[in-house]
Amino acid sequence: MSHSTLDVAAIRTQFPILSREIDGQPLVYLDSANTSQKPRAVIDAMSRFMEQSYAPINRSAYRLAAEATDAYEGARSAVRRFVNAPKVHELIFTKNATEALNLVAMCWGRANLQRGDVVVLTHMEHHANIVPWHMLVAERGIELRWVPLTADGQLDLTTLPQLLDGAKAFSFTAMSNVLGTITPVRELCRAAHDAGAIAIVDGCQYVPHNVTDVQAWGADFLAFSSHKLCGPSGIGVLWGREALLDAMPPFLGGGNMIADVRLDGFTTAELPAKFEAGTPPITEAIGLGAAIEFLEGIGMTEIRRHEMQVADYALRTLTERFGDDITIHGPTNVEHRGATFSFAFRDIHPHDLSQVLDQRNVCVRAGHHCAKPLMRVLGAAATARASFYLYNDESEVDVLADALDSATDIFGF
């Protein structure tokens, strides 16, 4: 593996919270798969916008409003570039990835799925890519099929053609938020299309850590969140192919999404306004644009390379130090995974583990990670999860390992 090109120390100085100490100990933030921290560039872009340029979007005609609208639409262009979408109006700002996935299920689903129609999911999906489909099961009697997993936490593709046979949609994550597994998105999109299904990609975990190219993938929809890629909370993204978006009924009704409203009905606006009802997350779009520029400035290829290196170090360190006492889920080859690790440690319940790690200011998530079906497959009700990002380095793997040692002292039975 090539050596990391990231200057993590320099990057860390750009994240104000990372110099915060609690009880005199530095913050070891290993919960970025949950939500990421924000660099100065993002915080400042939002403050500056509110201090100097805040105004309504797309509604008023004075210069301040035009300036704000340009900034907002500029963020949309940045997102387009970031995921290499063909057209800028194919990008819809939502409140989070969950809303983006619900939008697809509700609007594309209601327009295209009838009783008995099949949607294929995988056993490693986040609830955000399960529950909206459950709702369609309840509402219109569609059928869900599930791609199972291999022993090392990859998708088991041996029965994929059968599962996809007759399916209308295949919705899957590009990277598991629990296992860290990176799925073969291009291959999965092709398999979906071969079966006549559309391909919906949950990019929440993938997009913040990798170069994303929806055209190279051949995907039909992509959903992801700003808050996991150093951007603000309160905004997410749905990208969809123009023809699909154009053919879908609208989602929420209200201002901005209409062409005309009468007492007896309404007509919808063009893309992207059609799917952006009401006042959008204006300042948040500016922040998202700044986050994308920040990440591009560092380089997504470099970020991925750095995380592979950290992942490799973490796998080696934890297995060397704890052997059979630790079970790390997911692939062992860092080519097939990101730097997100769910693990079981001795018999210590993840919640207790996270409590003990928190004494050393090591922040990991304990729980089901919004992936209960996957937890049942793993045979665990909960796991602890440590997830690394561009601002984490190998030394934090060591701190994590030391903190795990201290848990043994308390629960050493």
Partner 1 sequence: MPGLDDLYREIILDHYRSPRNRGELPPPASHAVGHNPLCGDEIEVYLDVQDGIVTDIKVGGQGCSISQSSASMMSQAVKGKPVAEVRALVHRFKSMMSIEEADEDAPEVKLGDLEALQGVVKFPVRIKCAVLAWNTLTEALSTSDAGGDTTR
Ligand X SMILES: Cc1ncc(COP(=O)(O)O)c(C=O)c1O
Query: Hey, which residues between 109 and 128 contact a copy of itself (CB under 8 A)?
Result: 126-128
Instruction: Give the one residue of 32, 37, 171, 173 binding ligand X; rule: CB under 6 A.
Output: 173
For the question of residue 189 being annotated catalytic, the response is: no
Tell me how crowded residue 177 is: count the other CB atoms within 10 A of its CB: 27
Of the candidate residues 42, 344, 370, 384, the single one contacting ligand X (CB under 6 A): 370
Instruction: Mark 136-165 with x for binding to a copy of itself (rule: CB under 8 A) and - for no binding.
Output: -xx-----x-x-------------------
Determine the interface stretch with a copy of itself among 47-55, 185-193, 327-335, 393-401 (rule: CB under 8 A).
47-55
State the binding partner of 50 from a copy of itself, ligand X, partner 1, none, CB within 5 to 8 A by kind. Answer: a copy of itself
In degrees, rounded to 5, the angle at the alpha carbon of residue 13 between the alpha carbons of residues 9 and 17 is 120
Which residue from 171, 205, 210, 256 is in contact with a copy of itself, where contact means CB under 8 A?
256
Q: Going by C-beta distance under 8 Å and a sequence separation of 6 or more, which residues neighbour residue 156?
A: 147, 148, 149, 150
Choose one: 33-41, 100-108, 317-325, 364-372; the region binding partner 1 (CB under 8 A).
364-372
Q: Which of 43, 258, 399, 401 binds partner 1 (CB under 8 A)?
A: 258
- Which residue from 37, 177, 181, 212 is in contact with ligand X, where contact means CB under 6 A? 177
* Partner whose binding site includes residue 349, from partner 1, ligand X, a copy of itself, none (CB under 5 to 8 Å by kind): partner 1
Q: Which helix (H) or strand (E) segment is 98 a member of?
A: helix 97-103
The phi and psi torsions of 33 (rounded to 5 degrees) equal -70, -25
Cα-based distances in Å from 86 to 81, 208, 291, 309, 341:
9, 20, 21, 32, 34
Sequential DSSP letters for 246-286: HHSPPSS-STTSEEEEETTEEEE--TTGGG--SS--HHHHH
**Total Cβ atoms within 10 A of residue 16:** 12
Contacts of 354 (CB under 8 A, 6+ apart): 364, 365, 366, 384
The answer to whether the beta carbons of residues 18 and 30 sit under 8 Å apart is: no
Integer Cα distance of 206 and 227 in angstroms: 13
CB atoms within 10 A of CB 243: 10
Query: 356 is in the binding site of which of ligand X, partner 1, a copy of itself, none (Cβ under 5 to 8 A by kind)?
Result: partner 1
Q: How far is the CB of 325 from partner 1 (least distance, A)?
A: 18
Identify which range of 158-166, 180-188, 327-335, 347-355 contacts a copy of itself by CB under 8 A. 347-355
Q: Where along the sequence are the contacts to partner 1 (CB under 8 A)?
A: 22-23, 58-59, 61-63, 65-66, 70, 256, 258-260, 269, 273, 349-352, 355-356, 359, 366-368, 372, 375, 381-382, 410-411, 413
Q: Which residues are catalytic?
A: 370
